[in-house]
Each structure stands twice: as structure tokens, then as C-alpha cells.
């Protein structure tokens, strides 16, 4: 095994848990910032040179392997049956992750359930192919974030459905806002993007991109070729789709004067266009059809429609409507029905299980759905849903004890908690109530903010700080602020979308307690690194003297 890790670790360390992630993150970040700067200057030759430098960097390769071995699905193998679930496997993968001469393997196709009861095909790449995509994503994302449509919000760092929701509000809620909306739906977007268009326009090394696009998939031991679409199940697919659809917003702005009030909001392959009249939207639809046709895509005639704001429209799980001059955003009926069906399924599946287990299964579903909708007018919806869930749970309890009376069942399964009666609880386990969520106003990301532009660094730190204040428990919040929002091992930000743990500076087995002074927040991998290396003191010896 080659033990020369070059720019990753100190000479004395040759194992996965010896990698100095602090240096890794700094090196990769610096190159990404340089790529974004070159893109802004339209210096595409320099962009290609910097991308090549990054994808050959051992630091970037280490980060790519770290990402694919920590995300969801990392224990699901591809067609070769290989998973990288040990430090030695990751270290070997680091040695062998080489873009030159790279050959992608076919995807393993499986079928997963859809919300409507059907099944959706999903391709599973091998770990090596996932890591190669993650590696090139590090070089491609600074490009896509610098050139992307300003009102595109799907599958982009620091952007969310809530940002898209607020942009809809900005465009439609005012007194003199446009009244007509084109609801756009692209037919099978990810499966039909033209390979020829991708090969011509995506700034990725052609031989590598061609390997992903032409890898094919295996189902029932038979190989099927792929002639269109992005790599199914691939970590790079969402960015390839965004690069394909970027430019739509700029095209519309060029063709229509401001008085037409043409606004554009896109989340992945779902989008809306606003205007003052139907004729403008018909022209916009024609332009979009031409734009998509060049990329091998079509609008769905059944799902693409023009709607007046008084009738309302559904977008990303919400209903947007203005009636009598009053603007409303609420959870859509379709979204509510889907959520209730999910809750009901959980309750039915736990008919013979304990109350404690049922509560632990329901809490994530309730909290996740409630937090998603907390920035729209959901107060009444939450109260109604709480009641419907109570009815489900009452039926669950009655079924368990058909010969017991109402008072006995209430005493057995419901309690008074903090002055509130009828709380479904068992000891310290109590069901999360949607009506306890305080609905508020979401602060949308600045449309032109770029996470790879140093000028926006303070802006993104401020948004992350606000999120921690609103969401983290007080103790965690104070520790996070004391660390300036960074992991002290690798110096990378601790954000909501990464794995992080609480580490005891003095181990509990050595007498350490739970007081704040003895606690530190670390990334999950950094935390494992400490324990694998047996570091019982804080700070670790190898960090002493580093900046």
C-alpha cells in the first residue's frame, strides 16, 4: 500500500483516522474559492486548470470518500457488493481513487415505494463511482453556484423550499403583484436530459462525464444501456440537472419588459412563472418549451397550466392564494392527506407494540412535518391534525382494551403535562403536539449570495447563527457560539445538514461530567477519530500549537 498521503496527513500518520481534516478542508476550500473567482472573471481556461488540480488533490479525494461513507445509504452496496465500512477500506479507496483512465460500473437498479402507492426505479452506483462523483462535485459546485439562476432553490447549499416559498410571497403577495401564474412541470426531467447537451455544456472532464452517462444499469441480471438522463441515484445528478435548467430565468428577463411583472421561481424541476396577463404567460410557455427542447426535455401538457391567483396553486407542499386582496399560504390538502396517511400507517403497524415505541416512531414524523410548515399559516391546520391524530390514537388504545371504559383508557395512556391535559404519554416519553409549534416568518436567502465568494462569508455565518438561536437547545447553542460555530478539530462549520456529536473533554469513564465546560461539539468523523486514537486529554496533542 502506498503510504505517501502527500497533502493530507503528517508523515507519521498513515491511517484513515490519522488524516488531519483541518488541513484537508482548508486546502479544498481555497481551491473552490479560486474556481468561483475564475468563473466570475469568465476565465474558463483557468477554471479547467483549477478543477483538474482539485480533482487530483489527495485532500479532495479524502473529502469525497468521507462524504459518501457518512451519508444515508452508505451501507447499501452497488453492483460489486462492496461497502467502505472500515478505516482500512477507506484508506485503500483513497489510494485507488484516480480520475485518469476511470471506468464506471453499471448501476444496480432497485424499486422503492412512491407516495401514491406505486414504485419508482432507483439506480445504486458502486462506492467508487459515488466517490468519483463526489470528487468532481467539489470542483463543479463552485461553478454552478456562481452561474446558477438567482431564483433557483433546489439542491443548492444554504437554499431550501422555504426560500422558494418566500420568493413566491415576494412576487405575488403585494397589492399590485401579478395575478396570473404558469405552473410548470417538466416531464421526467432527470431521465430525459440530452447526453449530447450535457457533454457539450457541462464543465466536467469529458471522459469522466461520459462514463457516468453511459454506464447503464443492471436489473434481474440483465444490462440495460442509458441513452439519456443524469446518473440515477448519483450524488452529482441534481447539480447536472440544475446546470441544464439554469438560464431559463435570464431568458425570460431578456424577452419581457418589467411592466409585465414576469417573475420566475424554480425548485429542482418544479417552477412557476408570474405575469400580469395570460398572453404573456402563453409566450413564456412557448419560450420555455424551446429552451427545454434543446436539452431533450418537454413540458407535461397535463400538469402544466395557467392559473389565476384567486383560484390558488400548489407548489412544494403549500397552497398559495390571494382572495379579496388577502394573501394566504397554507399546507396543501394533498400534503396534509399524505402526511395523515403516513401517521395512520405508523399507528396501524404498531397495534401490538408498546406505547413508548409508538411515541418514538411518531415524534420524528410529527416534528419533521410541523417544522416544514411552520413558516406559513398553519396554526389551524396543526390544531385540526392534532385532533385527527388523537382520534387515531384513541382507536389504537380502545382496540387494545375493548372491555375497558373511557376513563380507564384515558388514565392509562393520557396524562396532564405542564398544565395541558390529554397528552399521549408514557413516563418521560410524550407525543409531540403540532399545535405547540409557533408559526413565524422565514427570512429568505439573498438571491445573489454565493457560498464560494469570500465577500459573502459573514452573511452566511449570520444566517447559520440565526438558525442555531432558533433551533438548538440552549446548552448546545452556547457551546456552538463559544466555538464560533466551527469544529475545533477540522475547523469546518458545524451546520444543520452535517453529522455532529457532543464530546466530553474529560471522558466520563475518567470522571468527566455533563457541565458545559467539559463539552465540545465535533463532527461525527472527527469525534470517531479522537476515540480511535485514544485521546483522553483536551485539546489533542496533535492540535497543540496549530492555528
| Residue 452: pLDDT band with limits 50, 70, 90 | very high
**CATH number of the domain that 489 lies in?**
3.40.1800
Does residue 245 sit in the same domain as residue 373?
no
Of the three residues 326, 348, 381, the one that is the final residue of a domain is 326
Q: Which range is least confidently modeled, 182-186, 196-200, 377-381, 435-439?
A: 435-439
409 vs 472 pLDDT, higher one:
409
- What per-residue confidence (pLDDT) applies to 524? 86
Cell of 409: 383508557
Percent of the chain with pLDDT over 90: 72
Position 446 in a domain? no
Position 517 in a domain? yes
Does residue 289 sit in the same domain as residue 176?
yes
- What per-residue confidence (pLDDT) applies to 13? 43
| Residue 14: pLDDT band with limits 50, 70, 90 | low
Does residue 501 sit in the same domain as residue 382?
no
Burial of 48 (0-12, 13-18, 19+ CB in 10 A): middle
Of the three residues 292, 326, 360, the one that is the final residue of a domain is 326
- Indicate whether 186 pLDDT > 90: yes
Q: What are the distances in angstroms from CA 510 to CA 3, 212, 504, 506, 536? A: 35, 50, 10, 7, 9
Q: How far is 411 from 547, CA to CA, in rounded Å?
A: 59
Does residue 311 sit in the same domain as residue 372?
no
Percent of the chain with pLDDT over 70: 95
Does residue 99 sit in the same domain as residue 114?
yes
Domain count, the chain: 4
Does residue 209 sit in the same domain as residue 182?
no
Does residue 168 sit in the same domain as residue 271?
yes
Does residue 515 sit in the same domain as residue 426?
no
Does residue 103 sit in the same domain as residue 199?
yes
Position 228 in a domain? no
Dihedral sign for Cα 518, 520, 524, 529, please. Answer: negative
Find the domain containing 184 and state its range.
161-190+240-326
Write down the mean pLDDT value for the chain: 91
Q: DSSP strand E in 70-213: where?
A: 107-113, 119-124, 180-185
**CATH number of the domain that 165 lies in?**
3.30.70.270
DSSP, collapsed to helix, strand or coil, labels residue 248 as helix
Position 99 in a domain? yes
Question: pLDDT per residue over 353-391, tens digit each?
Answer: 999 999 999 999 999 999 999 999 999 999 999 999 999
Question: pLDDT per residue over 289-317, tens digit each?
Answer: 999 999 999 999 999 999 999 999 999 99
Of the three residues 294, 326, 358, the one that is the final residue of a domain is 326
Does residue 493 sit in the same domain as residue 372?
no
Would you say 299 and 205 are in contact if contact means Cβ atoms under 8 Å apart? no
Amino acid at each position: 500500500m502506498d503510504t505517501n498521503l502527500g497533502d493530507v496527513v503528517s508523515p507519521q500518520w498513515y491511517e484513515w483516522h490519522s488524516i488531519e481534516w483541518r488541513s484537508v478542508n482548508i486546502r479544498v476550500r481555497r481551491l473552490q474559492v479560486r474556481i468561483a473567482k475564475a468563473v466570475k472573471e469568465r476565465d474558463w481556461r483557468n477554471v479547467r486548470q483549477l478543477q483538474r488540480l482539485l480533482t487530483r488533490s489527495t485532500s479532495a479525494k479524502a473529502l469525497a470518500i468521507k462524504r459518501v461513507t457518512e451519508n444515508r445509504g452508505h451501507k447499501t452496496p452497488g453492483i460489486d457488493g462492496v461497502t467502505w465500512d472500515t478505516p482500512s477500506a477507506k484508506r485503500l479507496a483513497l489510494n485507488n481513487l484516480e480520475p485518469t483512465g476511470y471506468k464506471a460500473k453499471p448501476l444496480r437498479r432497485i424499486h422503492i415505494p412512491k407516495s401514491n402507492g406505486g414504485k419508482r426505479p432507483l439506480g445504486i452506483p458502486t462506492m467508487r463511482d459515488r466517490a468519483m462523483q463526489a470528487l468532481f462535485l467539489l470542483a463543479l459546485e463552485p461553478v454552478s453556484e456562481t452561474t446558477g439562476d438567482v431564483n433557483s432553490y433546489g439542491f443548492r447549499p444554504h437554499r431550501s423550499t422555504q426560500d422558494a416559498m418566500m420568493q413566491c410571497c415576494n412576487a405575488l403577495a403585494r397589492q399590485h403583484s401579478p395575478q396570473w401564474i404558469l405552473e410548470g412541470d417538466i416531464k421526467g426531467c432527470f431521465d430525459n436530459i440530452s447526453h449530447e447537451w450535457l457533454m457539450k455544456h457541462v464543465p466536467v472532464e469529458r471522459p469522466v462525464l461520459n462514463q457516468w452517462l453511459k454506464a447503464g444499469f443492471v436489473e434481474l441480471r440483465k444490462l440495460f444501456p442509458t441513452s439519456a438522463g443524469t446518473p440515477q441515484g448519483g450524488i452529482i445528478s441534481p447539480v447536472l440537472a440544475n446546470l441544464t435548467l439554469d438560464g431559463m430565468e435570464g431568458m425570460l428577463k431578456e424577452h419581457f419588459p418589467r411592466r409585465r411583472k414576469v417573475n420566475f421561481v424554480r425548485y429542482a424541476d418544479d417552477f412557476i412563472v408570474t405575469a400580469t396577463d395570460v398572453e404573456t404567460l402563453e409566450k413564456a410557455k412557448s419560450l420555455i418549451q424551446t429552451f427545454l427542447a434543446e436539452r431533450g426535455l418537454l413540458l407535461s401538457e397535463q400538469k402544466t397550466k395557467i392559473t389565476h391567483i384567486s383560484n390558488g396553486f400548489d407548489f412544494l407542499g403549500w397552497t398559495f392564494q390571494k382572495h379579496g386582496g388577502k394573501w394566504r399560504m397554507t399546507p396543501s390538502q394533498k400534503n396534509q392527506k399524505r402526511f395523515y396517511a403516513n401517521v395512520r400507517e405508523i399507528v396501524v403497524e404498531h397495534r401490538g407494540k408498546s406505547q413508548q415505541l409508538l411515541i418514538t416512531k411518531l415524534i420524528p414524523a410529527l416534528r419533521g412535518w410541523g417544522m416544514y410548515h411552520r413558516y406559513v399559516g398553519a396554526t389551524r391546520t396543526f390544531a385540526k391534525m392534532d385532533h385527527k391524530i388523537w382520534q387515531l390514537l384513541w382507536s389504537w388504545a380502545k382496540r387494545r382494551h375493548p372491555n375497558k371504559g373511557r376513563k380507564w383508557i384515558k388514565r392509562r395512556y393520557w396524562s396532564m403535562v405542564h398544565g395541558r391535559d390529554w397528552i399521549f404519554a408514557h413516563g418521560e416519553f410524550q407525543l409531540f403536539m403540532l399545535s405547540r409549534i409557533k408559526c413565524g416568518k422565514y427570512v429568505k436567502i439573498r438571491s445573489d449570495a454565493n457560498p464560494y465568494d469570500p465577500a459573502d462569508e459573514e452573511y452566511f455565518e449570520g444566517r447559520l447563527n440565526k438558525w442555531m438561536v432558533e433551533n438548538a437547545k440552549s446548552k448546545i447553542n452556547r457551546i456552538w457560539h463559544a466555538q464560533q460555530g466551527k469544529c475545533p478539530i477540522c475547523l469546518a462549520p458545524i451546520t444543520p445538514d452535517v453529522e455532529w456529536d457532543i464530546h466530553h473533554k474529560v471522558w466520563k469513564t475518567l470522571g468527566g461530567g455533563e457541565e458545559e465546560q467539559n463539552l465540545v461539539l465535533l463532527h461525527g468523523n472527527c469525534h470517531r477519530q479522537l476515540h480511535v486514537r485514544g485521546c483522553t486529554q483536551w485539546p489533542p496533542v496533535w492540535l497543540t500549537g496549530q492555528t
